[in-house]
Structure 1
Amino acid sequence: MSKFEFEPIKKNSLVIELTRRLLDYIFSGSIQPGEKLPTERQLQEALNVGRSSIREAIKVLNVLGILEVRQGDGTYLTKSDSGFLLESIEWGLLLGEKNVMDVIEARKEIEITVAKLAAERCTQEEIEELLVILEKLERSSINDFVELDVAFHLKLADMAKNSVFKNMLISIQSLLRTWIKLVINEAANTDFSYSDHLNIYLAVSKKDQHEAEAAMRAHMEDASKRLIEVIEKKGEGI
């Protein structure tokens, strides 16, 4: 493991600032997936903060799977091949209740608009391509479901034919993977999510803008509620 160096923190929002500092450390390449982080005592001394604040920051990163806390062993950077450790991801989801709600609200509004535009602008060929993804969703394992779920939403963005919305969703697709994985793993099944995606597909395939908007709104409200419940549960149990 590479030597770590931090500058002492002299700010009030310690947990948020510590979380950002740890993310900077991770993004710098100083530690690789599967490697162990410095101990809480080492971090405490390097950052000149209390151990409770260190633990809270680690808890935040543990909630979404960036760090793995092994009782009696230490804290490790999670092994991942999903590419979610990119600094371009809007990790506001990690940085407190207000930011959680901001991210949820933003994604909800983007997805609803995308669904409406997709229903308005899609071609028959695109509808058939969306159906292929939906059929794979129905047959997929929980692990495969996550990638197919993201693919479904990105396909809708293609169909909406708005480059700004498409780029927004592309830029947060790793966050979407984390979101979907948390919700699906907690539920231990995909039936509820597949049903939502089926309703969205049916509305878009009929080119019914209002129905597509309503179907996506219902999906986003359910997904948001489930995500908040998972985060609260994980936060209490760490």
Structure 2
Amino acid sequence: MARAADTVKKTRPPIAPLDAIDRVQQVSEALANYIAHTDMQTGERLPAERELMEALGVGRSTIREVIGRFQALGVMETRKGSGTYLLKPISSATIHMPLMLNTSGLRDALLQTLEVRRGLEVEAAVMAARRRTPEDLKDIEAKLNEMERVHLSKGTSGPEDLLFHLAIYDATHNPLFRQLLEQMREAFERFWSRPFDRPDFARRSFPFHRTLFNAIVAQDTEAARRETLKILDVVEDDIKEMSR
């Protein structure tokens, strides 16, 4: 006779549903597959934005974000008034997957990402100070002025702060800086999305963005390094303080 315990049906937790696939990642893979299956070659023009929107069933902002990421990776180029062109043949198998952190805590994710930011941004600031052109300085200053405008009117600056740092990356004239950022975009963007629901996060770093710009203008590499570290030290202090 079977034991009573053997006849009792075990209760198991339900299988958790899968998260929705990221729309940008879906479109990236679909576009890469299209390029591979049609044997598109370097120099050929991609379908127009409207055609991609209709074929993939997504909005213009999604298409532009995907194209922007491919541009940052150096495989596409958009020419004003002409369209987007392929610079290097790609497929879904050759697209770099974004680097992700497997951590449940925001504090740990931010601190780990900050370690990478410190290495990248200090070196980027030094390279920008050495290599910046007059056009680079105009771009960086425009981004800084907008960041300061938003900060003074709202008390915080999110995307504007990110755009300032991206302009410095571009001033290095080394595309790998931008490519590395694109690979870690989701992790990096946590710093500009009101972490800990605090609009005042890293607010104390605000003045050092102007002094960093001044160092780049003066081509003072040591000052650029120093001012970048001041910004990131404030960020680290706020992560530790706000996560207690």
Name 2:190's counterpart in structure 1.
Answer: 178
SS in 2 for 1:91: coil
Q: Taking structure 1 as reference, are residues 200 and 116 closer, same or farther at Cα in structure 2, changes over 3 Å only?
A: same
Q: Give the distance between the partners of 2:163 and 2:219, measured in 1 at CA.
A: 20
Report the Cα offset of residue 101 of structure 1: 3.7
| 1:27–1:103 CA distance, 2 compared to 1 (3 A) | farther
Equivalent residue letter for 1:192: R
Give the residue type in structure 2 aligned to 1:26: D
Aligned partner of 1:122 in structure 2 is: 132
Alpha-carbon distance change, 186 to 144 in structure 1, aligned in 2, over 3 angstroms: closer
Name the CA distance, whole Å, in 2 between partners of 1:97 and 1:190: 14
Partner of 1:207, secondary structure, is coil
Paired with 1:108 and 1:92, the residues of 2 have a C-alpha distance of 20
**Count of aligned pairs between the two proteins:** 157
**Higher share of residues assigned helix:** 1
**Structure 2 residue matching 1:194: 3-state secondary structure:** helix
- Structure 2: distance between partners of 1:149 and 1:120: 22
- Between the aligned partners of 1:133 and 1:93, the Cα distance in structure 2 is 32
Moved more, 221-230 or 114-123: 221-230
Structure 2 match to 1:196: 208
Q: 1:213 to 1:131 in 2, by over 3 A?
A: same
5 Å matches for 1:85-234? 88-92=98-102, 94=104, 100-140=110-150, 141-142=153-154, 145-182=157-194, 186=198, 188=200, 192-230=204-242, 232-233=243-244
Describe the superposition over 1:181-221 as per-residue Cα deviations: whole angstroms up to 9, x where unpaired: 33595253875232121111111111111100110011111
Take 1:184 and 1:145, find their aligned partners in 2: how far apart are those partners? 15
Question: Is there any run of 5+ residues in structure 2 with no aligned partner, and where?
Answer: 1-13, 23-61, 66-96
What does the per-residue CA deviation read over 1:135-156, in whole Å, with 9 as the maximum and x for residues that have no partner? 1111115598211111111111
State the alpha-carbon separation in 1 of the partners of residues 196 and 217 from structure 2: 26
Cα deviation 1:80-126 (Å, max 9, x = unaligned) = x9x9xxx7252346458766543221111111111110101110111
| TM-score, length basis structure 1 | 0.56
Q: Structure 2 vs 1, CA of residues 94 and 210 (structure 1 numbering), >3 Å: closer, same or farther?
A: farther
Q: How far did 1:128 drift?
A: 1.3
Gaps of 5+ in 1: 7-21, 30-80, 234-238
Q: What's the Cα RMSD here? A: 3.2
Q: Secondary structure at the match of 2:98?
A: coil
Which residue identity is paired with 2:165? H
- Give the C-alpha shift of residue 170 in structure 1: 2.5
Matched residue, 1:41: none
> When the two structures are superposed, what TM-score results if normalisation uses the length of structure 2?
0.54
Kindly indicate whether the alpha-carbon contact (under 8 Å) linking 1:114 and 1:157 is maintained by their aligned counterparts in 2.
yes
1:94–1:100: 8 Å Cα contact kept in structure 2? no
SS in 2 for 1:203: helix
